[in-house]
Amino acid sequence: MSNTTTLDQSRPIFPFTAIVGQEEMKLALILNVIDPKIGGVMIMGDRGTGKSTTVRALVDLLPEIKVVKNDPFNSDPDDPELMSEEVREKLQKNEELETTIRKICMVDLPLGATEDRVCGTIDIEKALTEGVKAFEPGLLAKANRGILYVDEVNLLDDHLVDVLLDSAASGWNTVEREGISISHPARFILVGSGNPEEGELRPQLLDRFGMHAQIGTVKEAELRVKIVEQRASFDESPVDFRNNYSESQQELTKKLIAARSLLKQVEIDYESRIKISQICSELNVDGLRGDIVTNRASKAIAALENRTTVTPEDIFRVIPLCLRHRLRKDPLESIDSGDKVREVFKKIFGYQS
């Protein structure tokens, strides 16, 4: 069963650094790995544009984390907020915690998944007869401190999307049955992908994703040829192909680890924060999520480039990703929502790209 949900490591994965184009999608994914509090990514684009390939390629780059051994929730031995109840109880009793190092994991959510499969189930019979909270963890437990990937998220039942977004936002999953309630940490980066032809997500669900990357089919003939050639050589000899990119993969992983530790020191000045909020206000963005995500993403991109101060260019690069899905749809509007965000940015920042 687990093979269908956690990406099978024995199957060679296309290297992230070998992916041609689709810069917007790659940047959004990388920034969420640096700062998971950005709130995940929704990737919308045509079929066959490499959405799933890119998300799966991210697995290779993910840094390692310290976890409590044999714990189904990937509990963090140093952070009570990221621990299961059992681990916390052990700590309170001053019991020794066995730890191990493992890669951040990525969990694939199958389209037909039920709520029980996602959230976990409580064995009522066992709870009543033996007096123990018998909990069978679901995919959200497995995804704690990792990435949860939902392909074709726009085809998923709205209720299930709600459950995922609630857990992603609160960092907790609560299962209640027959008066028994069990909570566990469920902090993960939610990555959804979909094809706009199959219908859009409801605006209130879309708004809950931190970033929104739009990707299209590559138009330039030379680039298309390069992509086709790369795919052919990967299919022919995946191991050799991956070896050619091992150095660039390792470099990017190092860069991500460095950025994650530098993030706390990155600052964004007051004037820039005011201007970000002016942009959100002028674009009639509902709520404050847009302001918060833009601030976080701007800091993450500065950390990625090994800087501790955010520049207007950092904000310019991330703000379309953070705001485009929060704009109210105007059927008569001919301008792309990302371009609209860029225009308002240039006006308020007095910026020439």
| Catalytically active residues, by annotation | 289
Cα 147 to its chain centre, rounded Å, is 6
Report residue 301 as tokens: 């991109």
For residue 286, report the phi and psi dihedrals to the nearest 5 degrees: -70, 140
Q: How far is CA 41 from CA 28, 139, 147, 234, 327, in A?
A: 7, 19, 11, 27, 16
Q: What are the b/e assignments for 134-152, b being 16+ CB within 10 Å?
A: bbebbbbbbbbbbbbbbbe
| 147 neighbors 158 (Cβ within 8 angstroms) | no
What residue type is assigned to position 199 of the chain?
G
Looking at the DSSP assignment, which residues form a beta bridge with residue 215? 45
Three-class SS state of 85: helix
Q: How many Cβ atoms from other residues are within 10 Å of residue 191's Cβ?
A: 28
CA–CA distance, 85 with 101 (Å, rounded to integer): 21
CA–CA distance, 352 with 174 (Å, rounded to integer): 48
Residues ≥6 apart with Cβ < 8 Å to 136: 120, 121, 122, 123
Torsion of CA 175, 103, 210, 336, to 10 degrees: -130
| 324 neighbors 337 (Cβ within 8 angstroms) | yes
Q: How far is CA 185 from CA 87, 100, 108, 227, in A?
A: 12, 19, 18, 40
Q: How many Cβ atoms from other residues are within 10 Å of residue 199's Cβ?
A: 10
